[in-house]
């Protein structure tokens, strides 16, 4: 199944008519978001390649904004008739009763492609993709006799979008992503432990020329085996050192969400009305950058048709800007920031992060550990979540160690860390010079998931609460 | 079957299955759904979503190899393409001697009321009015409250499936709910709360109760502080218990067990929980939010006793895991969807009255990142109220509670009578658990 050529299959005149229909009940703004997406996946579990699968979805979401009201309808019928019906439903939903004729005239299409794919995943035989799974399985099982189970998954997707709106936006993007994940279970005297690692980039199958599946499998397997000797994590507050490339989710939760302009405008963010203020340790410069080609959160245009941008959110600890989508930037009379994203044509866009990271500091990472008398060293963080209104957030540590007398010592069992965003940002007291991006992530907000990246150098938070069971 | 049969979808499912060649198993499922979603803020509609979608999914099994494919449209050209993809994908799976569709097992279906005509006929303007009414009711509760958003949502789904082993089913279902999330400001501090209203149709919504609940959730955490770390007794609020039980249900899944990923493997017949604990999964109980007639394999849903008086009785299976473990499907393709604990006799207040020193856990945060069902480690962010001398006292937040799933089941000290049929995979009930580590300042 090949994807629709979005730039050729829709006549400009049809799009103009649909946009005009969207504004037929008096709305000031109408938008067509057309998406064609295919995904292929394969999983291995218990030594067997399980259901190899394909999924295909295509459709259009029509958004009409009338004053403060948004009408939205979506359809999988991409004929002019289908688009017109959706536009009519969206227009009715945002009706002000004013009516009237609104014409829209589109200029030349802006064509983006977030990356130059070297090897299109669809050109690769499925047998080759399946082979990667068995390689990972064999490598992981060969690491140690304690390994009792391995599951791995391969996935690739190709997403074409076309965004057209009554302000004249007329842009298209093609986003190809490829990923691989592995989970290993080891069994020992104290029960089972898991190890996990993943790769994911906005590139094609060349991912597997550039990154090693064998090393990925080894890392996940060693993590599980190491954790067999883990002791319960401590409970209470203490210094936490987070390894480079493993803790970007800290910033994603501690402040990223709170810097999304929709939450700010609702007064549901602890960072509202604080631009220009010191909101973090002076060591922290936080950036959200959709233009980082190759990274998991990279985009050519956002899902409202605006080009991806690099946005500095916090500079030397001072809050410089929020992230913006169409609605919020229009309300503020400013330009959008390329952060309007949606899960699919069935969803309304919202302010979302892309690749969010903290820039390098100056410390040698080894010195950061050495400077810590007693604390926890987190080598791999799991997921997290935040209440943006209070700033309270949690995230899981999936690989962690005790720090005793400036040295990394015993492995710890899993647990959550908890903190308050503004407090933790202020408490970052050492920042390394070893910046790295972390694992690919899926950020959930209001029921929608989008791919995001994160990164940071090794850093220390003066005090965080570790949710373990040991005294 | 519920409502009228979905003839056109069933006909397509049958047509797909009829394509099977000798030696090939095919399962086809089709769905068509509609959705309305209204969000109101400050008395105005913020967004109104109205949409229709459809889909087809096909599984093909040949010589023990499985392939699947799906698409968002099911005209004949599309489903033929999906079928071809599924067949192609099947060539790349490993041979699995246990692969195969479910055999009909003769267990009768317990009919459920899944469709409501009043909901289907409910006018659009009134949907908007419900969200506005909920917003008004919340604001009337307490002058310090602000609305984050108030929502009305409903949806309907028509589904049909068929398999080459003769399982056919079709159904129509619809549902609706209203939700509100609120913020409360006091002395420069902000807290949040939320609530929902449920019913077979909007006339059954208890909006005043939802407004009260949202207000109570938000305001009772005002002034909350971070507590010191200690080992304590916790009372899980019904919503928290429901989340805990869903995790336990996952560990009793036959697939996890057969693949060596369950903390309860090899423990059938053993005391794995306090004798107070009897845990049942019963999707035929119409009070359960996910009550249903058939499971994901098309077999009749049924009542299964998983833990009885603390003794592990069984794991739940779909056709595949049952075959692997040389047993029969328990009608649980898709896992446990209607868990319930046998309730005790006390109200939450009475449970608290018996606790000298403890914590009422109002809500938890980060279960997805802090609980590992394979190792059993349990650690989650929480907020709630201190319990002192049998009464709730000051609010606390920004702390974690930690234990292991195994210990928590054994440490259940009391179960409340306050069963709450939440819109989740497990009914809620107050649960008293001892020996939990609270980690704070």
On whether any CB of chain A is under 8 Å from the CB of B379, the answer is yes
Is there a contact between B70 and A54 if contact means CB atoms under 8 Å apart? Answer: yes
Coil vs helix vs strand at A296: coil
On whether any CB of chain A is under 8 Å from the CB of B44, the answer is yes
Confidence tier at A434 by pLDDT (50, 70, 90): very high
A423: chain B residues, CB-CB within 8 Å: none
B261: chain A residues, CB-CB within 8 Å: 149, 185, 192
Helix, strand, coil share of chain B (percent; to 5): 25, 40, 35
On whether any CB of chain B is under 8 Å from the CB of A235, the answer is yes
B positions 193-212 inside 8 Å of A (CB) = none
On the CB side of A365, CA atoms within 13 Å amount to: 18
Whether residue B61 contacts residue B68, with contact meaning beta carbons closer than 8 Å, is answered with no
Model confidence over A171-181: pLDDT tens digits? 999 999 999 99
Q: How many other CB atoms sit within 10 Å of the CB of residue A229?
A: 12
Is there a contact between A70 and B46 if contact means CB atoms under 8 Å apart? Answer: yes
Whether residue A214 contacts residue A427, with contact meaning beta carbons closer than 8 Å, is answered with no
Handedness of CA B87, B92, B95, B99 (dihedral sign): negative
On whether any CB of chain B is under 8 Å from the CB of A148, the answer is yes
Model confidence over B13-28: pLDDT tens digits? 999 999 999 999 999 9
Two structure tokens written together for B194: 């939320």
CB-based burial, B268-293: b 16+ in 10 Å, e otherwise: eeeebbbebbbbbbbbbbeebbebbb
Whether residue A469 contacts residue B400, with contact meaning beta carbons closer than 8 Å, is answered with no
Whether residue A152 contacts residue A43, with contact meaning beta carbons closer than 8 Å, is answered with yes
DSSP of A130-153: HHHHHHHHHHHHHH-TTEEEEEEE
Cα(B407)–Cα(B377) distance, rounded to whole angstroms? 10
Coil vs helix vs strand at A61: strand
Cα(A94)–Cα(A68) distance, rounded to whole angstroms? 9
Is there a contact between A53 and B68 if contact means CB atoms under 8 Å apart? Answer: yes
pLDDT given at position B286: 95
Cα(A220)–Cα(A196) distance, rounded to whole angstroms? 5
- State how beta strands A374-386 and A235-242 pair: parallel
Instruction: Using the structure block, give the residue that is written with the tokens 């965080």.
Output: A464
B72: chain A residues, CB-CB within 8 Å: 56-59, 76
Q: What are phi and psi of B435, to 5 degrees?
A: 65, 30
Closest Cβ–Cβ partner in B94, B96, B379 for A415: B379
Measured in angstroms, the CA of B111 and the nearest CA of chain A are apart by 31
Closest Cβ–Cβ partner in A67, A191, A392 for B398: A392
Mean pLDDT of A329-335: 94
Is there a contact between A126 and B48 if contact means CB atoms under 8 Å apart? Answer: no
On whether any CB of chain B is under 8 Å from the CB of A383, the answer is yes
Confidence tier at A101 by pLDDT (50, 70, 90): low
Q: Which CATH class is domain A6-227?
A: alpha beta
Is the pLDDT at A471 greater than 80? The verdict is no
Domain range annotation of chain A = 6-227, 235-467
B positions 304-363 inside 8 Å of A (CB) = none
Is there a contact between B375 and A191 if contact means CB atoms under 8 Å apart? Answer: yes
Q: Supply angle C-alpha A467, A150, B381, rounded to 5.
A: 15
Tell me which chain B residue has its CA closest to the CA of residue A89: B50
Cα–Cα nearest to B39, from B144, B141, B148? B148
Cα(A89)–Cα(A70) distance, rounded to whole angstroms? 12
Instruction: Using the structure block, give the residue that is written with the tokens 């979540």.
Output: A385
Question: What is the 8-class DSSP label of residue B95?
Answer: P
Whether residue B14 contacts residue B168, with contact meaning beta carbons closer than 8 Å, is answered with yes
A67: chain B residues, CB-CB within 8 Å: 44
Cα(A448)–Cα(A61) distance, rounded to whole angstroms? 15
Question: What is the 8-class DSSP label of residue B204?
Answer: G
pLDDT given at position A322: 97
Measured in angstroms, the CA of A184 and the nearest CA of chain B are apart by 10
pLDDT given at position B62: 96
What pairs with residue A135 in β-bridges?
none
On whether any CB of chain A is under 8 Å from the CB of B440, the answer is yes
A469: chain B residues, CB-CB within 8 Å: 379, 402-404, 437
Question: What is the 8-class DSSP label of residue A252?
Answer: I
Two structure tokens written together for A8: 């050729």
H/E segment holding residue B382:
strand B377-388
Measured in angstroms, the CA of B427 and the nearest CA of chain A are apart by 22
On the CB side of A388, CA atoms within 13 Å amount to: 25
Q: How many other CB atoms sit within 10 Å of the CB of residue A405?
A: 9
Two structure tokens written together for B130: 């419900």
Is the pLDDT at A100 greater than 60? The verdict is no
Whether residue B434 contacts residue B414, with contact meaning beta carbons closer than 8 Å, is answered with no
DSSP of B298-345: SPBP--EEEEETTEE---B--HHHHHHTTS---S-TT---SEEEPP-S
Sequence-separated (6 or more) residues with CB below 8 Å from residue B103: B165, B319
Q: Tell me how far CA of residue B356 lies from CA of A60, B75, B237, B413, in angstroms.
A: 59, 65, 18, 14
Cα–Cα nearest to A36, from A176, A155, A203, A166? A176
Cα(A398)–Cα(A204) distance, rounded to whole angstroms? 28
B243: chain A residues, CB-CB within 8 Å: none
Whether residue A160 contacts residue A173, with contact meaning beta carbons closer than 8 Å, is answered with yes
Whether residue A417 contacts residue A467, with contact meaning beta carbons closer than 8 Å, is answered with yes
Measured in angstroms, the CA of B203 and the nearest CA of chain A are apart by 23
Measured in angstroms, the CA of B292 and the nearest CA of chain A are apart by 24
Whether residue B182 contacts residue B145, with contact meaning beta carbons closer than 8 Å, is answered with yes
On whether any CB of chain A is under 8 Å from the CB of B123, the answer is no
Closest Cβ–Cβ partner in A76, A193, A393 for B54: A76
On whether any CB of chain A is under 8 Å from the CB of B377, the answer is yes
Measured in angstroms, the CA of A433 and the nearest CA of chain B are apart by 28
Is the pLDDT at A8 greater than 80? The verdict is no
Among A110-119, A408-417, B220-229, whose mean pLDDT is lowest?
Answer: A110-119
Measured in angstroms, the CA of A365 and the nearest CA of chain B are apart by 26
Is there a contact between A414 and B94 if contact means CB atoms under 8 Å apart? Answer: no
Handedness of CA B196, B202, B208, B211 (dihedral sign): positive
Cα(B86)–Cα(A177) distance, rounded to whole angstroms? 22
DSSP of A85-119: HHHHHHHHHT--S----------PPEE--SS--SS
Among A86-90, A141-145, B82-86, whose mean pLDDT is lowest?
Answer: A86-90
Cα distance from N-terminal residue to C-terminal residue, chain B: 56
Measured in angstroms, the CA of B45 and the nearest CA of chain A are apart by 6
pLDDT given at position B2: 40
Model confidence over B279-329: pLDDT tens digits? 999 999 999 999 999 999 999 999 999 999 999 999 999 999 999 999 999
Closest Cβ–Cβ partner in A74, A413, A466 for B439: A466
Tell me which chain B residue has its CA closest to the CA of residue A38: B71
Is there a contact between B260 and A191 if contact means CB atoms under 8 Å apart? Answer: no
Cα(A167)–Cα(A30) distance, rounded to whole angstroms? 8
Is there a contact between B403 and A236 if contact means CB atoms under 8 Å apart? Answer: no
Sequence-separated (6 or more) residues with CB below 8 Å from residue B416: B238, B343, B344, B346, B347, B348, B351, B429, B430, B431, B432
Is the pLDDT at A98 greater than 60? The verdict is no
Model confidence over A55-78: pLDDT tens digits? 999 999 999 999 889 999 999 889
pLDDT given at position B5: 58
When scoring B39, B94, B434 by the number of chain A Cβ atoms within 10 A, the one with the most, hence best to mutate, is B94
Tell me which chain B residue has its CA closest to the CA of residue A196: B372
Whether residue A117 contacts residue A176, with contact meaning beta carbons closer than 8 Å, is answered with yes
A48: chain B residues, CB-CB within 8 Å: 93-96
Q: Is B356 exposed, middle or buried (0-12, 13-18, 19+ CB in 10 A)?
A: exposed
On whether any CB of chain B is under 8 Å from the CB of A421, the answer is no
B positions 137-166 inside 8 Å of A (CB) = 146, 148-149
Instruction: Using the structure block, give the residue that is written with the tokens 């029921």.
Output: A447
Q: Supply angle C-alpha B337, B261, B290, rounded to 5.
A: 5
Cα(A1)–Cα(A4) distance, rounded to whole angstroms? 9
Is there a contact between A192 and B368 if contact means CB atoms under 8 Å apart? Answer: no
Long-range Cβ contact pairs of B71-74 (< 8 A, separation 24 or more): B71/A55, B71/A56, B71/A57, B72/A56, B72/A57, B72/A58, B72/A59, B72/A76, B73/A76, B74/B12, B74/B30
**How many cross-chain Cβ pairs, A to B, lie less than 8 Å apart?**
247
Q: Which CATH class is domain B7-219?
A: alpha beta
Cα(A66)–Cα(B46) distance, rounded to whole angstroms? 10
What pairs with residue B201 in β-bridges?
none
Residue segments in chain B with a per-residue pLDDT below the cut of 70: 1-5
When scoring B26, B40, B43, B49 by the number of chain A Cβ atoms within 10 A, the one with the most, hence best to mutate, is B49
Average pLDDT along chain A: 93
Enumerate the CATH 3.30.2290.10 domain ranges in chain B, comma separated: 7-219
Cα(B270)–Cα(A403) distance, rounded to whole angstroms? 39
Torsion of Cα atoms, B317 then B249 then A417 then B413, to 10°? -150
Whether residue A282 contacts residue A274, with contact meaning beta carbons closer than 8 Å, is answered with no
């Amino acid at each position: 199944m090949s994807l629709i050529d979005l730039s050729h299959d829709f006549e400009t005149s049809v799009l103009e008519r649909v946009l005009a229909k969207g504004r037929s009940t008096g709305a000031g703004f109408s938008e067509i978001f057309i998406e064609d997406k295919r995904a292929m996946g394969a999983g291995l579990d218990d030594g067997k390649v399980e259901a190899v699968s394909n999924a295909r979805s295509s459709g259009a979401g029509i958004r009409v904004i009338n004053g403060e009201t948004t009408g939205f309808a979506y359809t999988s019928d991409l004929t002019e008739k289908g688009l017109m019906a959706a536009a009519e439903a969206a227009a009715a939903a945002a009706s002000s009763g004013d009516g009237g004729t609104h014409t829209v005239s589109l200029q030349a299409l802006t064509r983006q492609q977030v990356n130059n794919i070297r090897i299109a995943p669809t050109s690769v035989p499925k047998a080759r993709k399946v082979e990667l799974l068995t390689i990972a399985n064999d490598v992981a099982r060969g690491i140690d006799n304690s390994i009792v189970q391995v599951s791995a998954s391969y996935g690739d997707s190709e997403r074409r979008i076309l965004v057209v709106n009554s302000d004249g936006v007329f842009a298209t993007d093609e986003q190809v992503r490829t990923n691989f994940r592995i989970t290993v279970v080891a069994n020992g005297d104290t029960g089972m432990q898991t190890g996990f690692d993943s790769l994911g980039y906005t590139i094609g199958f060349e991912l597997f020329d550039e990154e090693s599946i064998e090393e990925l499998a080894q890392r996940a397997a060693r993590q599980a085996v190491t954790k067999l000797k883990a002791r319960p994590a401590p409970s209470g507050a203490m210094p936490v050192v987070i390894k480079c490339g493993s803790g970007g989710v800290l910033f994603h939760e501690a402040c990223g969400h709170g810097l999304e302009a929709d939450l700010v405008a609702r007064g549901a963010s602890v960072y509202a009305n604080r631009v220009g203020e010191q909101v973090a340790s002076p060591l922290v410069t936080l950036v959200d950058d959709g233009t980082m080609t190759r990274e998991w959160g990279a985009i050519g245009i956002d899902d409202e048709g605006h080009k991806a941008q690099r946005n500095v959110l916090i500079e030397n600890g001072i809050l410089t800007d929020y992230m913006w989508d169409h609605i919020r930037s229009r309300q503020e009379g400013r330009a959008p920031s390329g952060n309007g994203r949606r899960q699919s044509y069935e969803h309304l866009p919202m302010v979302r992060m892309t690749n969010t990271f903290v820039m390098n500091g100056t410390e040698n990472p080894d010195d950061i550990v050495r400077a810590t008398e007693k604390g926890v060293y987190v080598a791999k963080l799991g997921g997290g979540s935040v209440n943006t209104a209070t700033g309270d957030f949690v995230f899981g540590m999936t690989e962690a160690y005790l720090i005793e007398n400036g040295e990394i010592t015993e492995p710890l069992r899993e647990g959550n860390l908890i903190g308050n965003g503004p407090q933790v940002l202020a408490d970052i007291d050492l920042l390394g010079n070893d910046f790295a991006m972390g694992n690919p992530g899926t950020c959930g907000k209001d029921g929608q998931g989008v791919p995001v990246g994160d990164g940071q150098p090794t850093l220390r938070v003066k005090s965080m609460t570790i949710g373990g069971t040991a005294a | 079957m519920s409502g009228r049969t979905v003839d056109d979808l069933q006909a397509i499912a049958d047509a797909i299955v009829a394509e099977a060649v000798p030696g090939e198993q095919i399962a086809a499922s089709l769905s068509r759904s509609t959705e309305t979603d209204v969000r109101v803020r400050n008395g105005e509609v913020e967004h109104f979503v109205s949409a229709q979608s459809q889909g087809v999914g096909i599984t093909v099994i040949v010589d023990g190899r499985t392939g699947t494919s799906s698409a968002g449209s099911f005209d004949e050209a599309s489903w033929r393409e999906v079928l071809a993809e599924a067949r192609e994908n099947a060539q790349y799976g490993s041979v699995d001697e246990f692969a195969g569709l479910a055999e009909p097992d003769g267990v009768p279906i317990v009919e459920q009321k899944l469709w409501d005509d009043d909901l289907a006929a409910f006018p659009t303007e009134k949907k908007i009015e419900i969200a506005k009414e909920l917003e008004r009711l919340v604001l009337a509760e307490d002058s310090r409250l602000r609305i984050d958003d108030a929502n009305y949502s409903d949806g309907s789904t028509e589904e049909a499936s068929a398999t080459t082993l003769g399982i056919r089913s079709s159904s129509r279902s619809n549902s609706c709910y209203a939700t509100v999330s609120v913020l409360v400001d006091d002395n420069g501090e902000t807290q949040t709360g939320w609530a929902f209203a449920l019913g077979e149709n909007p006339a059954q919504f208890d909006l005043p109760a939802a407004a009260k609940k949202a207000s109570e959730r938000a305001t009772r955490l005002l002034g909350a502080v971070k507590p010191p770390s200690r080992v304590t007794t916790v009372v899980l609020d019904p919503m928290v218990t429901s989340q805990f039980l869903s995790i336990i249900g996952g560990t009793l899944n036959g697939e996890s067990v057969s693949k060596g990923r369950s903390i309860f493997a090899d423990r059938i017949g053993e005391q794995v929980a306090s004798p107070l604990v009897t845990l049942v999964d019963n999707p035929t109980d119409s009070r359960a939010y996910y009550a249903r007639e058939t499971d994901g394999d098309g077999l009749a849903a049924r009542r299964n006793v998983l833990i009885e008086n603390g003794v592990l009785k069984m794991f739940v299976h779909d056709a595949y895991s049952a075959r692997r473990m040389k047993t029969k499907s328990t009608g649980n393709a898709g896992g446990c969807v209607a868990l319930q604990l046998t309730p005790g006799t006390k109200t939450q207040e009475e449970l608290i009255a018996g606790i000298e020193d403890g914590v009422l856990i109002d809500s938890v945060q980060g279960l997805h990142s802090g609980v590992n069902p394979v190792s059993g480690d349990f650690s989650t962010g929480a907020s709630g109220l201190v319990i002192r001398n049998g009464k709730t006292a000051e609010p606390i937040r920004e702390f974690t509670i930690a234990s292991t799933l195994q210990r928590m089941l054994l440490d259940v000290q009391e179960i409340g009578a306050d069963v709450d049929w939440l819109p989740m995979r497990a009914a809620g009930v107050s649960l008293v658990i001892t020996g939990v580590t609270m980690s704070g300042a």
